[in-house]
Structure 1
Amino acid sequence: MIIEDFKLRRTIRKYKNDQIPEKMLNELLEVAFRASTTGNMQLYSVIVTRDEENKKKLAPAHFNQPTVTTAPVVLTFCADFNRFIKWCELRKAQHGYDNFQSFYTATIDALLVAQQFCTAAELCGLGICYLGTTTYNAPMIIEALNLPKFVVPVTTVTVGYPAEIPAQVDRLPAEALIHDEQYKDYTSEDIDRIYAEKESLPESKKYITENNKETLAQVFTDVRYPKANNEHFSDIFLKIIREQGFQF
């Protein structure tokens, strides 16, 4: 039954005004903290934002998406080596965690916790929305949340009781994503077959027409995620990661 429910899951961006009980939220976070973690180091922190004014401070970093200010709770999941490094220093242990490997390890830890929280929250009737904008404007989030050295925001989740149940968005067929034993590269015929349903959706054709493009792929490459934007935000994110203490 649970498996079937998850096959029907969808992202929720509009929430009721009902607040999430603090006890419930804390229990969900405790469940999340049981997620797998590298070396049992728990290299993450979660900033819980409930205050309306503080949500407004975060909103510009997420391009003022309404879900940030209307959600009862905004959770910012951070890669955090600050706590572990301080523990090492106080215990006369010389650390070597100011590098790319350490940053990436902490990022994985943070994302595992974020997903476990989302799974638990949805099982309890809550709705969630991941915000991919976190890494675009990390410097703004670091300032708004007063994040110290060796702490970098990697994803944000809004959470609340769903005000509506939107249509489920499309997904590629499982065959597109599963490779048995070894990676099997895609032929042009494979690509045509895998993307056929996505490209034939009415909303996909609408995106193509609205943006005056020839193909759906061009909507992604030229409009939604163009090279110039990717390079711009890459530069910003790499710079702030270094400023936060990770040198690579």
Structure 2
Amino acid sequence: MIKSLQHRTTIRRYKDKDVSEELLNGLLEQAMRTQTMGNLQLYSVVVTRDDKQKQRLAPAHFNQPMTTQAPVVLTICADFRRTTLWAKLRKANPGYDNFLSFMNAATDALLFTQTFCCLAEEEGLGYCYLGTTIYNPQQIIDVLELPPLVLPVATLTLGWPDEEPVMSDRLPLWAIVHDEVYRDYTPVQIDDCYAAKEELAVNKAFVAENKKETLAQVYTDVRYTKAVNEAISEGLLKVLRQQGFM
């Protein structure tokens, strides 16, 4: 597994080959051994194989081609509904309609997701993690008919790889590790952190294509702008209230 992590890439093109239900269920079951808050397993997974259903999900993910081309799409949800229903049926009084409960369930769901990804890679499968899930949660809720106290937090497209993309760059280890306490970065340290990333030909081309001066400007002015971040935040807060987590 460590070897797989050292060479992992995001797969966006898949072979026209099914992922068997036996293999998928085996991986999902193994992933359930992931650590979880209070041993409650505060997540659910919606498996999408039907082409029409993938087409309905695609707009929520900006119609990225792999959403419909992958043989399997997995939507991993923060889920406190199952626990709440269980509590009510056992004469208990649940109090999980709040933001803390969403955070606990979302953490459970994302830990499960990462474990599943590692296991899938060991079987030779490829996947793409779609961060768009929390950009357009309402569309996903509607398509998947998610009830209160269930909210999508991650989506994976899954299948047998039909490409060999290059590995993405990463910051040096010292850039993310702080001994004992957090030590803020000096301008020189920031320069050192990002120097290798900024010198990559692909990133220099990225800057030129977007007609920007620096790579940072591509992220702040084009990809993840303040206006878009605030608008998506408002939508996410609205959905959290609607699903009963606020």
Tell me what 1:59 maps to. Answer: 58
Count, aligned residues: 246
In structure 1, stretches of 5+ residues that fail to align are none
Tell me what 2:230 maps to. Answer: 231
Using the TM superposition, give the Cα deviation of residue 141 of structure 1 relative to its aligned residue in structure 2, in angstroms. 0.1
Partner amino acid, structure 2, of 1:216: L
Tell me what 1:96 maps to. Answer: 95
Using the TM superposition, give the Cα deviation of residue 117 of structure 1 relative to its aligned residue in structure 2, in angstroms. 0.6
Using the TM superposition, give the Cα deviation of residue 182 of structure 1 relative to its aligned residue in structure 2, in angstroms. 1.7
Q: Would you say the 8 A contact 2:134–2:154 is kept in 1? A: yes
Tell me what 1:158 maps to. Answer: 157
Q: Distance in 2 between the 1:5 and 1:104 partners?
A: 29
Q: Distance in 1 between the 2:233 and 2:11 partners?
A: 28
| Aligned pairs for 1:44-123 within 5 A | 44-123=43-122
Question: Is the deviation greater in 74-83 or in 171-180?
Answer: 171-180
Partner amino acid, structure 2, of 1:137: N
| Percent identity between the two aligned chains | 57
Using the TM superposition, give the Cα deviation of residue 4 of structure 1 relative to its aligned residue in structure 2, in angstroms. 3.1
1:219 aligns with 2:218: yes
| Aligned pairs for 1:169-248 within 5 A | 169-247=168-246
Write the deviation string for residues 158-190 of structure 1: whole angstroms up to 9, x where unpaired: 110000110111111111111122212111111
Tell me the C-alpha RMSD between the 2 structures: 0.8
In structure 2, stretches of 5+ residues that fail to align are none
Runs of 4+ in 1 over 3 A off after TM superposition: none
Tell me what 1:167 maps to. Answer: 166
Q: Distance in 2 between the 1:177 and 1:157 partners?
A: 26
1:144 aligns with 2:161: no
Using the TM superposition, give the Cα deviation of residue 5 of structure 1 relative to its aligned residue in structure 2, in angstroms. 3.3
Tell me what 1:125 maps to. Answer: 124
| TM-score, with structure 2 as normaliser | 0.98
1:18 aligns with 2:21: no
SS in 1 for 2:208: helix
Tell me what 2:42 maps to. Answer: 43
